[in-house]
Every structure is written in structure tokens, then in C-alpha cells.
Amino acid sequence: MRVSTLLASAAITAAGWTAASAQDVTFYYDKSGWDEGFAALIEGASEASGLDIAGQQQTPTDRYQAYIMSSIAGGATPAIFTWWNGKQLDSLVETGEIADLTALWDEAIEAGWFSEAERELFSVDGTPYAIPLNVARWPVLYNKDAFEAAGIEQPPQSWDELIAAADALKEAGYVPFNAPAVGGWMGFIWFSELMIRTDPDAFVGLTDGSVPYDGPEVQRAMEIWTDFYERGYFTDAREQDETRFMVNEEAAMYLIGEWTAGILANRGMEPGEQIGAFLLPPIDAETENSVIVEAAPIVFSADAMEEMPALMDAARYLMSPEAGNALGAANGIYSGNLMTDAPNAIVSDVNAIIAEDAPRSIVRWWEAVPPELQGDLVSQMNAFMLDPTEENAQRVMDDMQALNESYWAFQ
Amino acid sequence: MSAPLNPPISQAIRAEARKREIAARRRSGRVALLFIAPALGLVALFLLFPVVFNLGLSFTRWQRFSGLDEFGGLMNYQRLFMVPYFSDVVINTAMWVIGAITLPLAFGLGLALLLRGVPGEGLFKSLFFLPRVLAPAAVGTIWFYVYAPDGVINSLAGAAVGQDIDYGWLFESHTITPAIIMTFVWQTLGINMVLLLLGMAAIPRDPIEAAHVDGASSWQIFRHIVWPLLLPTVFVVTILNVIAGFTAFDLIWVMANGYPAQRSLSLAVYMYYETFSNSRWAFGAAIAVMLSALVILVSWALTVMQSRVEERIR
Amino acid sequence: MAVDISDPAFIETLKRRERAGQKPSYLRLAIAVVLLIAYLVPFYYLFVTVFKTTDEYLRSSVLDLPTSLAPFWDNVVQAWTLGGMGRASINSMSYAVLGAGLATALAAGAAYGLTRLKLRSANAWFMLIFAGTLFPFQMFLVPLFFGFQRTGLINTWAGMVLVYTAICIPFPLLVLRGSFGAIAREIDEAARIEGASEWRVFASMILPNAKGPLIALFLIQFTFVWNDLLFSSILAGSPEVRSIMVALQALQGTYSSTGPNVVVTASLISSVPTVVLFIFLRRYFMSGLQLGT
């Protein structure tokens, strides 16, 4: 009797085994919380190509990467999947498994969907291998009421104004900056921002091994960072709720990707009404103005593209303004397509700032740094945030350089 | 079946009988194999083959997208010793193993001696044992907040000294590992206690009572009678604790993931981190081999010691 | 030492000693109660937290009693929906019931083959299967991940059931080999002479004689599978097949707006089945411990 139940369950097991449904194409992604947007993109791409495309979400990010990488190592490259640009894209393209999308980009630029600048973000050695899922700039989001309460009339335009604004906010009872260290990756945010505001070239040099992590350029950035902590500019890095201090209005500013506007909107802070955006100013007039850009690519397997030419129609749809608007409407995400509507006031504000100031676009540290170093280095930066003292800054720099050196020695 | 009519039983018949018996034995053996086959098949496929495969992988250069077909020799084994925070990994692993051997046993033994014969012993036993059936992931989640800057430990300590404390137990490099080990102790001392109580129950009462009558103190009785007879159980418990200490993963992963830097990693967690966060597959396989070698060596040594002790008791 | 045990003076001292021996037992009881209270503080925290709203949690001390019991249901609903715990608990329940059930059944079959039938070098066969438990789990992770990925078993329900079944076989086999071996030979010999098939002997003679160990083993393996984070975190990452512990970890690990009250409620939810089993089947759990040693 017991045995027969077990046999029955064995039979169910066997049935489950064979019931893996046959889809034409699977679209893998790791972006959690964008389900609605992905559903819309996948539906549109299926319609446009006539293929039966199914979405497959896998989290967390490191496990997702592991899954994709081992698939490729095992000779089974997924047909469509999201990835990261910069060095992450370089090493992916190196496998020779990723489809060249030059023709599609030519079309898209012709149609006015994108400019050469975006093409560059998704290219390796001048050849585009990916299309944008989203493009996000990294401004400072600020609480308009807090600025008003502190008597700050307009967002800071220079470093001195920034310090003055921070002090005024402190005076008015706010912590100037929300700076969480959750999720294991947020440590690089202020590190890279302070680097690009003091020496953008040195920042780029960090990511290709030509500038050391314990040299004078990094020393300077770490000094400012330590100083900011001493002045009480940052929230407690041990807080687990990323946006808590913004939402309860304890903190006034938040340096983060512009997609966070959507998260804040969900928690009751209306972009444009309560939240504004500005770019952190460079430390002095001689330093080039720049902006960190994060670009999430979608890539296609070269083999799948060859087997199923209709996949190109899916790619074309995913680049289109319709797809961009679908994602914007569903999740407030900006695809970077110039012909889409800005999904919220923050995106249009940042668009306006960039049109006016024309800052240099710099690839986000996370994507620019060799992937092998990413995790090791960022956890050092997290460690600094948890213990922001001079001694620890030195230890963190030494450790980062030791890791950096051993990596580049191998290359 | 026809029985032979004329005695005495001939040679041929005896041979026939033996043949039949051998056939029956063979048939029985074949049926036995049928009974074993499903278990053996699954174990071979999902456990035994992977062990061999893992060993093979550890000699390749496989990381990230490629290198699965390149032979790397002992590269991955040497690599571990070149990791900048290797010393942290060694120290943390040592803390885990030493902590796991001594603390749950000491607390478990203390409790076992305390609770034996106390009214409501069964209820006490169950309550102290209860954390053991919870998932380490759930325990780690709760204790993450217990240790939080505004958590239970700081609130209690703050109330005791009369001022606010917001120490981040899991955010400081020198308290993170001891703090997680204490959570581990909290979860495992109950099973240590129960096992030791079972061991104590098996100790004959006569020598203890005789010693009592002779006026021996409780400590003398424990030291000279209970402890030597309990030693086999202590070894079993120690072996379980050593393995748990070497391989503890869930608690560390849930309570310390990334804080602060790699300064909380033990070898077992480091293996997972390198493999699934950094995609250094072959390196992870090599760490797993080294970890296995350590665990097997230490538990083998303890088993040998245990059998010596058991012999001495007999 | 010669003692006249009928000597009233001696009996008197014995009695006195016994009374003296009882008194400290109340002192011990008091110490035990104090220790137990300290030991249960995390449970106190757990039970007050699940009745707090996020706001209340952040504003009051963690040790304060909740102001009302009402937020509990909201916490449960939030944990259930935000963490996807509904799906995850169905998944884990099926992994644990099937994995532990199949493993115990298969181990019982193998133990029968090893102990009740005439198998040559039965010991070697046993060692071969048991060798699977010699290694720490870390040894299996890379090959299983790669193998599952290659064969398409990754992120499938069937793959999870299979891997849990396999992991759970060796230990019950060790135990059942002992318990089946201890059952009197006459039982199955007699049944065979009456013409019963081996299957019948196994199913209706041997299994019912080992009911206790079988239940205990099932419980131990059920608890293991339900509580597992390691294997399910690498082999089942997609929301459809993710286990309850992976869901819990995702809820705790993300930098989301989920308050501690919700996360702690989720860890309570994830503990309900094993705790309920423990409460009702404590006897088997405890006897399972004896089996293990």
C-alpha cells in the first residue's frame, strides 16, 4: 500500500521528467522586479518574429552569470539573454558565440532610434554585439522639500556649492546622503563617483590596470570619502533597506542609477514632485565633467541567429521605440531609445542636463573592471563603508592593489 | 518432484542437490541485485560519479567561459595559497573547527549533567533540542536581526549598562566569525546534549552507586567513572561536530554574505564563493577536494582514536 | 568495604543522602529554568516581531511587546506574496516528501537485498553505496551544477527530486541494514517455504517489522530536504522550482523594502512543517538520533 503510493509518485516523477515543454526560444534574464516589462517585451518579440519565445528568469545575479557561463562552456549558448557591457561584454564576445549586430544597428541609427554614442556602449572593438535593454545614467536624486527646508535654491553647480548644500542640510537636521551597502555591490558607487569627479582619466586607468588602487589618485578620492564620513554626510551603511532613509526623509540625496526613481515612486515619492536630479559637480573647473552610464545589453547566440533568421525580427522589435515604451510603461525603465517617451520626470530631467552640459560618458565601474576582479574589489569597498577610518582606508587600498596586481600579473 | 526410490542416495543425486542449491543461491543473488539496483544506480549517478568528475575538473583550467578542455596540472591547488586573504580563510576555518568541537560539546555536557533527573527533564530536552529542527537558513535570518545594531543583543546589553549600544556584530571583521559560531552553538548544543544523555543512560548505575557509598564526590565520580565510560559517545559527537564545523555553509552565507569583505569566509564558503560568484569552476573543484581531504583525514583520525578508547573500556 | 545493609543507622544515612540528593535538584531546576529562558530569547524576539508592523518595528525597541496582534496576517500575506513563498513551499514540500520517501523506500529495498538474500560480497556493495556520504557536500556542487546544466535537469522539478533522493539514500541504508539484520531469520524463511515471492516477503514481512526506524528515517531526511539551501540554491534558481529556503534567502538578501518583521515572519513560515512534525513525532526524532549513532 505504502509501496504503491511510492510507485505512483515515481511515475509522477518520470512524467515530470518528460513534460519539459518544448519552446522555440528561451529568453534568459536576471532582472527581478521587471516581470511585467519582460512579459511585454517577450510578447512583442514573439509576435514580431513568429517564434515562440519564452522568458526564463534566474536569480541572484552571480548564479545567473554562472548559469550562462557554464552553458557556453558546455557548448549550449542560450539563444537570447541579458548581459552587462564593458569588460563583461568583451569576454563574452571573445567566446565567438555571440551574433554580430552591425546591420541592425545601421538600420536603427538610420531610423533615428539611437545615436553612435549608444552603439559604442554595446560594441567590442567597434563592432556592436548587443542591443540595449536599458540605459541608465547615475545622477544624484534629491528630496525637493529637504532642499527647500535647508534653504537651498538650486542644485549645486560646483564642488563648493555641494559642500555648502550638504552642510546646510545637516544644519536642517538631514543626513546629506543616503549611502547603503546592501546586496554586496553598492560599495563601488561613491568610490567611482569620487574618482570621476577628481580624475576621470585615472578612473578609466583603474579599470585597465594602468593606474594602481593605492596610488595618489585613489588616495585623494579615499581621503574625500573618509572626510565626508567624518563630517557625517552619509547614512549608516549597515542599514538593510536600501531606500529607507530616503523614504522616511532622514536623508536628502541619493547617488544612484536613475531607475531608482521608479522604486521611490512605488514607495510614495513622486519623481518631479518630490524628487529631482542633478549631476554631482567635478571637484574644480579644470576637471572634465562626466557622467556614469550603465547599459544593460541583450545578446543573441550566433548559432541560433543562423538557425532561425526570424530571431533578427525579434531583435529589431526589442530595439524599437514600441519595446522601449512598453518597458517604460510597465516598470519606469528607460531603454535609451531616442524616440521613446521618458518614463518619468527624472529621466527627462537627466536627458535635459545631458543635452545641455554634454558630459563625457563613462562606463560604470562594475562593467568596466575585469569581471574576475569585480567581486573581490567591491567587497573591499563595502568593508571601507562599514569602517570608514583612515587606517581602514589604507588597508582597503592595499588589499585592492594586491588583488589588482595579482590579476594583471596573470594577464 | 519425484523422490529417488532406491537408497543409498547416489553421488549423482547429491551433486544434483548441490547444483540446485547453487542455482537457488545464484537466483537469490540476482534478486538481491535487483533490490539494490535502484539505490545503487541513483547513488552512483548523483554522488559517486560526481566525486570522480570533480577530481578530474580540479586539474583543468576551467573558469568562466572556457578552459574545460585544458589541462592545468596542480595550478588550482597552488592558487589557493596565493589568494591575498588566504590567511583569513585559514583562521576562520580554524575558528569554526575548534569552536564546533569544543563549544557545543562543553555546553551540551554541562546541560546534560544539569538536566539529568531534574523534574520535567523531557520538556527541557525538547526545548533545548528545538532549534535543531529549524533550517539553518531560518536560524541565520533570525539571528541576523538578533545581532543587528538595533537588535536583541545590543538592546539587552544596553539595558544592562544603561546606555544605548549599536555595535554591528556582523559588520566588524573581528566579531563576525565568533558571532556566527555562537549561533551555530545555539543551534547544535541541544543535539549534543541529547546524544550525551543517551550515552549517560547507557552507563551502568552500579559503579556510580558504589562510589557514592564510598563517599566519592560528584566530581570524582564524573572524572573517574562517568567520563571514561562516556568517552565513546563524546567521540561520536565530536566527529559529527568536526564535520559540521568544516562544512558549515548556510549560516555564514545567510548572516555574512559579503560583510565585511571576505573576512568571514571559511574554506567551505570560500569554495562556494569562488565557484558560483566568481565562476572559477576548476578552482572551486580543487578547493572542494582539499576540503574533502581535510574532513576525511580528521574524521578518520578521530574514528581510530575512538576505537582505541572503546577497546580500552572493554 | 563490608556494610551491614540491615543496620538501621546505615539505612538512615542512605535516606538522608537521598533527601540531600533531591534538594540540589530544585537548585538545578532553577538554574535550568534560567538557562532555558536565556536560550529562548531569540524565540521571544521571533514571536514579538511577527506581530509588529514595519513602522512599529523600526520605531520601538526590538524587545517591546507588540501593540496589537493584527499585523500578523498582513506580515504573513506580505511574506507569502513578496517572497513567492506559496509556490516555494509547495515545491519544497514535494521535494521533501518524495525525496525522503523514495530514498527511504529505495534504501529499504537495498537493505533487504543486502541482508536477507544470499548476495556475494554484500559488504562491498554496501560500502560502495555508503561511500557517497564520506565526502562533504561541497565535493558534489561543481559536477552536479555542470551535469544538470548539460542534461537540462537544472531548474526542473524532477531534477531536484532525483538529486535529493540520491543524497538521502546512504544514511537510511546504513541504519536499515542494521535493523533488517536484527529481524529473526525464521520469519522470511518460513514465508519462502510457503512460496511467497521475495517482493511479498520484503513488503509484508520485513517492512512492517521495521516501522519505527522507517518513520524516524523519513522524518530525518524530510527535515534535511526541507531545510536544504546549498543544493537548491545552485540547481533550482528559477522562481517556478525554487525551494522555500532559497525564497527565504532571496527575501532576506535583497536590498528591497521588505521590513525585518516580514522577513522574520517568512522564517517562521518556513519553519512550520519541521516544527510541527517535531512536536507530534518527537519520539521518532529522538529515536532517530539513536539510530544515527
Q: What is the ipTM of this complex?
A: 0.89
One-letter identity of residue C197: S
> Under the phi-then-psi rule, with left for phi > 0, alpha for psi from -120 to 50, and beta for the rest, what region is A124?
beta
Give me the phi and psi of A293, to 5 degrees please.
-120, 130
| CA of B291 vs chain A CAs: smallest distance (Å) | 22
Query: Residue C82 has what pLDDT?
Result: 79
C-alpha closest to that of A203 among A292, A267, A128: A292
- Better-predicted residue by pLDDT, C192 or A204: A204
* Nearest CB neighbour to C255, from listed A14, A70, A182: A182
Sequence-distant (≥ 6) Cβ neighbours of residue A158 within 8 angstroms: A281, A285
User: Burial letters for A43-67: b for 16+ Cβ neighbours within 10 Å, e otherwise?
Assistant: ebbbebbebebebbbbbbbbbbbbb
User: What is the spatial distance between Cα B60 and Cα B83, in angstroms, rounded to a whole number?
Assistant: 19
| Bridge partners (DSSP) listed for residue A78 | none
| Cross-chain residue pair B260–A399, CB shorter than 8 Å | no
- The closest alpha carbon to C64, from A90, A260, B152, belongs to B152
A95 to chain B: which residues are within 8 Å by CB?
65-66
What is the per-residue pLDDT across B250-298, written as a single tens digit (0 to 9) for each?
999 888 865 656 778 899 999 998 888 888 899 999 999 999 999 999 9
Q: How large is the average pLDDT for residues B222-241?
A: 90
Contact between chains at B118 and C28 (C-beta distance less than 8 A): yes
Helical spans, DSSP H, in A122-215: 144-149, 159-171, 188-198, 200-208
Tell me which CATH code domain B79-313 carries. Answer: 1.10.3720.10
- Please report how many Cα atoms fall inside a 13 Å half-sphere around the Cα of residue A334, on the Cβ side: 29
**Tens digit of each residue's pLDDT, chain A (411 residues):** 344 444 444 444 444 443 334 458 889 998 877 888 999 999 999 999 999 998 888 777 777 887 888 788 777 889 999 999 888 899 899 999 999 999 999 999 999 999 998 899 999 999 999 999 999 999 999 999 999 999 999 999 999 999 999 999 999 999 999 999 877 788 999 999 999 999 999 999 999 999 999 999 999 999 999 999 999 999 999 888 888 899 999 999 999 999 888 888 888 899 999 999 999 999 999 999 999 999 999 999 999 999 999 999 999 999 999 999 999 988 888 998 999 988 889 999 999 999 999 999 999 999 999 988 888 898 899 989 999 999 999 999 999 999 999 888 876
Rounded-to-integer distance, Cα A175 and Cα C274, Å: 45
- Report pLDDT for C98: 97
C242 has pLDDT over 50: yes
Residues ≥6 apart with Cβ < 8 Å to C280: none
Do you find a cis peptide bond into B8, omega within 30 degrees of 0? Answer: yes
Domains and CATH numbers, chain C: 21-71 (no CATH), 74-292 (1.10.3720.10)
pLDDT computed for residue A14 by the predictor: 44
Q: Identify which of A231, A276, A270, A245 has the alpha carbon closest to the alpha carbon of residue A179.
A: A245
Residue pairs spanning B and C at CB distance below 8 A: 269
Neighbouring residues of A9: CB distance < 8 A, sequence distance ≥ 6 = C98, C101, C102
CB C230 within 8 A of CB C160: no
The one-letter amino acid code at B292 reads S
Q: What is the DSSP letter of A184?
A: G
Tell me what pLDDT residue B7 has. 55
Kind and range of the H or E run holding A276: strand A275-278
Q: Which of B62, B93, B90, B66 is nearest to B75 (CA)?
A: B62
Q: Where are the domains of chain A?
A: 2-135+294-351, 140-292+365-410
- Rounded to whole angstroms, what are the CA distances from A373 to A59, A368, A407? 21, 11, 7
User: Could you give the CA distance from residue A299 to residue A294 in angstroms, rounded to a whole number?
Assistant: 16
Q: Do C267 and B138 touch (CB under 8 A)?
A: yes
pLDDT value at residue C255: 45
Phi/psi at B37 (5° precision): -50, -50
Give residue B129's region: left, alpha or beta (phi > 0; psi -120 to 50): alpha
Model pLDDT, residue B12: 84
Q: What is the mean pLDDT of residues C282-292?
A: 73
Question: If DSSP states are collapsed to H, E and C, what string results for B263-306?
Answer: CCCCHHHHHHHHHHHCCCHHHHHHHHHHHHHHHHHHHHHHHHHH
Element (H, E) at A294: strand A290-300
Chain B residue numbers with beta carbons less than 8 Å from the beta carbon of A74 are: 68
φ and ψ at residue A278, rounded to 5 degrees:
-150, 165
pLDDT at A33: 73
Given CB atoms, is A66 within the 8 Å cutoff of chain C? yes
What percentage of chain C exceeds 90 in pLDDT?
48
Contacts A240 to C, Cβ<8 Å: 255, 260
Task: List pLDDT tens digits, range C200-234.
Answer: 889 888 899 888 899 999 999 999 999 999 999 88
- Which of A21-35, B93-107, C41-55, C105-119 has the weakest average pLDDT? A21-35
Residue B247: C-alpha distances to residues A258, B236, B291, C231 (Å): 41, 17, 8, 13
CA-derived radius of gyration, chain A: 23
CB-count burial class (<10 Å; 0-12, 13-18, 19+) for A348: middle
C81 touches chain B (CB under 8 A): no
Q: What pLDDT is attached to residue A300?
A: 97
pLDDT reported for residue A409: 83
SS3 A242: coil
Task: Flag if B84 and A403 touch (Cβ within 8 Å).
Answer: yes
* Cβ pair A16:C155 closer than 8 A: no
Minimum CA–CA partner of A370 in chain B = B278
Q: Which of A312, A282, A261, A131 is nearest to A203 (CA)?
A: A282
pLDDT of residue C16: 58
Mean pLDDT in residue range B51-72: 89
| Cα C154 to Cα A175, A327, B249, C235, distances in angstroms | 46, 29, 21, 5
Cβ atoms of residues A253 and A321 within 8 Å? no
**DSSP conformational letter for A97:** -
Q: What pLDDT shows up at residue C183?
A: 86
Which of B21, B28, B33, B42 is the best substitution to test chain C (most C C-beta atoms within 10 A)? B42
Task: Quickly name the fold that domain A140-292+365-410 has.
Answer: D-Maltodextrin-Binding Protein; domain 2 (3.40.190)
Q: Which of A220, A228, A176 is closest to A198 using CA atoms?
A: A220
Comparing CB atoms, the residue among B36, B137, B281 nearest residue C113 is B36
Cis-peptide, bond into residue A297, ω within 30° of zero: no
String of b and e for C93-105 (b: at least 16 CB within 10 Å)? bbbbbbbbbbbbb
Tell whether A182 is within 8 A of chain C (Cβ): yes
Instruction: Please say whether the beta carbons of C109 and C198 come within 8 A.
Output: no
Among left, alpha and beta (phi > 0; psi -120 to 50; other), residue B117 is left
Distance to chain B for C89, nearest Cα, Å: 13
**Please, what sign has the CA dihedral across residues B143, B148, B151, B155?**
positive
DSSP string, B102-157: HHHHHHHHHHHHHHTT-TTHHHHHHHHHGGGGS-HHHHHHHHHHHSSTTSHHHHHH
Please identify among residues 355-374 of chain A the ones whose CB lies closer than 8 Å to any CB of chain B. Answer: 371-372
CATH topology of domain A2-135+294-351: D-Maltodextrin-Binding Protein; domain 2 (3.40.190)
Is residue A135 within 8 A of residue A121, CB to CB? The reply is: yes
Q: Which of C118, C131, C142 sits opposite B54 (nearest CB)?
A: C142
Is B172 within 8 Å of A387 when comparing Cβ atoms?
Answer: yes
- Sketch the domain layout of chain B as residue ranges: 1-57, 79-313
Question: Could you tell me if B16 and B4 are in contact, meaning their C-beta atoms sit under 8 angstroms apart?
Answer: no
Helix, strand, coil share (%) of chain B residues, nearest 5: 75, 0, 25
Please, what sign has the CA dihedral across residues C210, C211, C214, C216? negative
Q: Does C25 touch chain B if contact means CB atoms closer than 8 Å?
A: yes
8 Å CB contact between C161 and C99: yes
Question: What distance in Å separates the CA atoms of residue B130 and residue B126, rounded to the nearest whole number?
Answer: 6
pLDDT at C13: 63
Chain C residues with CB-CB distance to B53 below 8 A: 143, 146-147
- Separation in Å, CA of B94 to nearest CA in chain A: 22
Instruction: Label residue B90 exposed, middle or buried (CB < 10 Å: 0-12, 13-18, 19+).
Output: middle
Residues 139-168 of B with CB under 8 A from C: 139, 141-146, 148, 150-152, 155-156
Percent of chain B with pLDDT over 90: 50
- Partners of residue A74 in chain C, C-beta under 8 Å: 146, 149-150
Cα torsion angle, B280, B285, B287, B291, sign: positive
Q: How many CB atoms lie within 10 A of CB C245?
A: 27
